Amino acid sequence: MKTMKGPAIFLAQFAGDNAPFNSLENIVKWAASLGYKGVQIPTFDKRLFDLDKAAASYDYCDEVIGICREAGVEVTELSTHLQGQLVAVHPAYDAMFDAFAPEEVRGNPSARQAWAVDQVTKAARVSQRMRLEASVSFTGALAWPFVYPYPQRPEGLVEEAFSELGRRWRPILDAYDASGVDLCYEIHPSEDVFDGTTFERFLEQVGNHKRCMINYDPSHFVLQCMDYLGFIDVYHERIGAFHVKDAEFNPSARQGVYSGYSNWVDRAGRFRSLGDGQVDFSAVFSKLAAYDYDRWAVLEWECALKHPEDGAAEGAPFIRDHIIRITDHAFDDFAGSGTDRATNRKLLGLT
């Protein structure tokens, strides 16, 4: 068995225009001061990281690594969540998702998609340059508007959506394979891949690609009333990244999973800071340890109530205290009899 690495923190939710959140140098020093050992870097926020520059310059990649190392942290993964979302967008969401793209491709879905594919592909090469094992992203969504089947979905609609999703992602996954990097999709409502069944649909369409992996985040399964521990049992071989995020689901007589269009604070299901929700993290960390997960445990902070700086400060010791340092011997080794094969056969009556 192996010991996972951490604690680490996803920087996306903390980036801002004021110090210490306004530059990579400042924010990694802040993260290190809280006890984090790693940072997951969003490639869509140029205040922290310039993906295009990194793709063109080995020196810039080394500079980023050096800034992090000097602060006392490692880069865990690069995130292309927003770009990955734009690889597949249903027209119903065009106006809202345009905000994720640069101005020159807004209002032009085909140009926006080409830009997104280029971005996610660049992240493969940059991850290789930065000697990273994995990257994290979203799949995007074509079928999401049809998630609830009323009126009845036309025959073949979902199959066509996943066929197209696979067609778009297969060459990107090939680029990740050429770079020796896993692409770990966050399984997430609003993406076409939002649970185990949809992940299997997607995996089939990309030919069971070895680089098609999962960014495991139990919070999204709590909000769907799924067995988030059983999910690890089923898909552990595909888990290549881990977002440590908490959530709670408190249905009432007025609302349940769909939450009546309420804002986050009023929803039956909502994200919480670590330890304030319902995820059994002792069980999660134990299962991942038992299945030899040895990559990073990364805080993704999203909470409807708590201040982000408090959530970040509490997150580092929470993750640190849940990481299981794997033993190198069995607890009952002291009682071993030191027998050999001949003795074992004698004990079994096989003389």
The pLDDT tens digits for 189-213 are 999 999 999 999 999 999 999 999 9
Residue 334 has what pLDDT?
A: 60
- What SS3 state is found at 13? helix
Residue 150 has what pLDDT?
A: 93
Task: Tell me the CA distances in angstroms from 286 to 17, 157, 201, 247, 293, one per residue in order.
Answer: 38, 40, 28, 19, 10
**What type of residue sits at position 52?**
D
Q: Which residues of the chain have pLDDT under 70?
A: 329-335, 337-338
Q: Which residues contact 12 (CB under 8 A, 6 or more apart)?
A: 42, 44, 45, 79, 81
DSSP letters for 110-175: HHHHHHHHHHHHHHHHHHHHTT-SEEEE---BSSGGGSS-SSPPPTTHHHHHHHHHHHHHHHHHHH
The pLDDT tens digits for 27-55 are 999 999 999 999 999 999 999 999 999 99
> Parallel, antiparallel, or unpaired for β 134-137 and 239-244?
unpaired
pTM, two decimal places: 0.94
Residue 333 has what pLDDT?
A: 64
- What SS3 state is found at 221? helix
| Average pLDDT of the chain, as a whole number | 96
Residue 328 has what pLDDT?
A: 75
Residue 347 has what pLDDT?
A: 86
Residue 340 has what pLDDT?
A: 84
Q: Which residue has the tokens 């999709």?
A: 185
Q: Which residues contact 265 (CB under 8 A, 6 or more apart)?
A: 304, 305
89 torsion bin: left (phi>0), alpha (psi -120 to 50), beta (else): beta
- Identify whether the C-beta of residue 86 lies closer than 8 Å to the C-beta of residue 115: yes
For residue 245 the two structure tokens come to: 């995020």
Residue 173, domain extent: 5-347
- Indicate the number of domains in the chain: 1
CATH number of the domain where residue 253 is located: 3.20.20.150
> How far is residue 237's CA from residue 205's CA, in Å, rounded to a whole number?
18
Task: Tell me the CA distances in angstroms from 322 to 73, 104, 284, 285, one per residue in order.
Answer: 19, 45, 9, 7
